[in-house]
Structure 1
């Protein structure tokens, strides 16, 4: 046990307390802090920005624009009603971006025709409001022509309100699930490769031979994996500090927190979600860490590591894309099936948990399958590691892996 502790301490200092790792930790903190700072200042700027400048040109004797009336309907814009003679001048202002939009209203067979001129991206909301404004005038004219009473006309123009009632609000869980998926994916890719690279480097430099005379191979492997897992958890704590500092400053309000427009509903972060976050993060990380350790043990040159670890990278990428699918459609067939595949379970099942789609039975089954897979993978990886670290052949084939697994 003492030897294991010494090896663990050595690898932990190497993975977290090294100058390179501390700089990385600082950069991660600044990135997260900077994201929320950017989000805070840009949202504040958006709230205080000038109103969109919009011009309306009427080329019709039937249809009119009451500027004050339209301004109340469209308070987010600064509306200007102009004469037809100013059309070309206003068009050039739109081209130079001095105007955000120009509406040219004509008439054909009594029906208003609207041309919306813009530079860049159109405002669908503004276009719909202007269109509806003239549609109401057209409806009123038709009703008067057909001598329909004013009471009936008023009833026909009554707005129909739509009351939204979400049976299950996907947007509330989107932000939390996405953050977990992205963090787990990035940490597995980064630190998993670190495990494989360190093992391959020690093996290629023959340092492994010296270390194995003092420490058992399995002690080395697990000490390295646990050291890197501990480093990953500490890095997550640092990332969390990058979030909590803006909260303490007052840049983020718990009730309306967003990240790049995605809502983050902290009401979803109860004891169950937090505990499952930790469980799925650790088990998911261990699962892929052992595969990366096996990949590093079977290569003799670090140049060969990428090709050997490529299947592992494919698995984590597949898990990532399926989990992204689960954010918007957690009950799709591929997501439900993926949650029961141990290599995809940590990301996919957790996103379904946050969305409220995974019950206690599904969580129990998927987590049990994941733990059984880790146990089996532990058996296979330990054999590959023990027999692979002292193998210096140029390329290891599948039949060689089978020999490593059978050999104790």
Structure 2
């Protein structure tokens, strides 16, 4: 076991001390703090750049009766829009918009039926907020005009918009409240990304590390003093432990960042990522499926990495593995809106899809205990089989040199390992 722990320590410390690992970790920690304080940053930038300045809206009111109500309505809503009447023609205003002398203008009129017609002109392709606020204000004015025309009081008008009392009752054993479902959906989506990117990044790291040792002929020295099987699992566990440590660092950083940036405003950014409505079992399953998913793909990556002699061939060799995790992510993502889709149930028992798909289901549904436990058992069996098979391939693969042609090299590696 001494050799095992030496390789384990070397795999862990060499990556942990690498400048790329340290810089990436620091950048991600800074990014997490920036994300947690994004609302404060936006407010600060707006204050510095004058983002809160009032917007001037040039209005051509051909009816002569709408501009004052519109101004009053926008002031009541505190929209930050200043209504400015103008006698210029539409063509003159259009020319000013084209030359960017003004941002936009509005033309108002009323037809014989008392219906308001508004034409908003702008050059901005992303101008959606301002016309939306103007439309809402004009709709309120239209409602008030129609109410006066029908001699309706304010109370009578309000009764026209009284919402119905609608309640939904779900007797399904897997049902959750809308609040619980929304919170769980956000958490599941975030953790799915964590699992997805971690598996791709750390698995590629293992495959690249093995291929790099082969290309530098270091492997020939290593296997003379330690068995290839010990070398393989020491690599997997060493890089895996480093990956888990990095995720824990990100988790602690995120917890501190969101706690220190929490505001009293309900429905704010902190509430969006709140864990108060998340079942503890969901967090436990997230950890379990992350660890199992990592070691499943890491073992496969070590197997594939042992087949190549040049680091340039690593990405091509692990492409099938990458496609598996991408397919798992796509399938899981399709179930965020409806986790009860039939094919998700079957996909959740396929070991290479289980870490994402089964986690999606346990996060959004109250499944019977046997379902996640069965998927965990299938994954453990798959890791054991893949480890046994991978050890046989690895034993011969580390001795293979020359250009890697395809996955057909697995057969050659097994035969070489027997010798």
Q: TM-score range by the shorter chain?
A: 0.7 to 0.9
Q: Could you say what secondary structure the match of 1:267 adopts?
A: coil
Map residues 4-403 of structure 1 onto 2, 5 A cutoff.
Answer: 4-42=4-42, 49-60=52-63, 65-66=68-69, 69-71=72-74, 74-80=77-83, 82-85=85-88, 102-110=105-113, 111-120=115-124, 121-123=127-129, 125-137=132-144, 139-140=146-147, 143=150, 150=152, 154-155=156-157, 158-161=160-163, 167-169=177-179, 170-247=181-258, 249-250=260-261, 256=267, 258=269, 263-356=272-365, 358-395=367-404, 397-402=406-411
In 2, the alpha carbon distance for the partners of 1:252 and 1:373 equals: 46
Within 2, Cα distance between the matches of 1:76 and 1:300? 65
The equivalent of 1:146 in structure 2 is none
Consecutive unaligned residues of structure 1, counting only runs of 5 or more, are: 144-148
Q: Which moved more, 1:375-384 or 1:276-285?
A: 375-384
**Alignment partners' CA distance in 2, 1:183 and 1:209:** 36
Contact 1:199 1:297 in 2 (8 A): yes
C-alpha contact (below 8 Å) 2:12/2:239 kept by paired residues: yes
| Matched length | 401
The Cα shift of 1:208 comes to 0.9
User: Does structure 2 conserve the Cα–Cα contact (< 8 Å) formed by 1:102 and 1:116?
Assistant: yes
RMSD of aligned alpha carbons: 3.4
The offset of 1:160, in angstroms, is 3.0
Distance 2:383 2:322 in 1: 17
Aligned twin of 2:172: none
Deviations 1:112-154 (A, max 9, x none): 21112234212363144134134325524653xxxxx646994
CA distance in 2, matches of 1:350, 1:96: 55
What secondary structure is seen at the aligned counterpart in 2 of 1:266? coil
Q: For structure 1, which segment, 334-343 or 175-184, has the greater mean C-alpha deviation from structure 2 after superposition?
A: 334-343
The 3 A distance-change label for structure 1 pair 126 and 340 is same
Q: Answer yes or no: is the 8 Å Cα contact 2:33–2:257 preserved in 1.
A: yes
Give, in whole Å, the separation in 2 of the partners of 1:241 and 1:216.
Answer: 38
In structure 2, what is the Cα distance between the partners aligned to 1:307 and 1:249? Answer: 44
Which secondary structure does the structure 2 equivalent of 1:298 belong to? coil
Task: Indicate if the aligned counterparts of 1:140 and 1:153 stay in contact, CA closer than 8 A.
Answer: no
CA contact (8 A) 1:173 1:265 kept: no
Runs of 5+ unmatched residues, structure 2:
169-176
Would the aligned equivalents of 1:54 and 1:78 in 2 still touch at CA under 8 Å? yes
Q: CA deviation at 1:65?
A: 3.7
Looking at structure 1, the residues matched to 6 and 331 of structure 2 have their Cα atoms a distance apart, in angstroms, of: 40
- TM-score, normalising length: structure 1: 0.84
- The SS at the match of 1:113 is strand
State the SS of the aligned residue for 1:330.
Answer: coil
Secondary structure (helix, strand or coil) at the match of 1:104 reads: strand
Secondary structure of the structure 1 residue equivalent to 2:336: helix
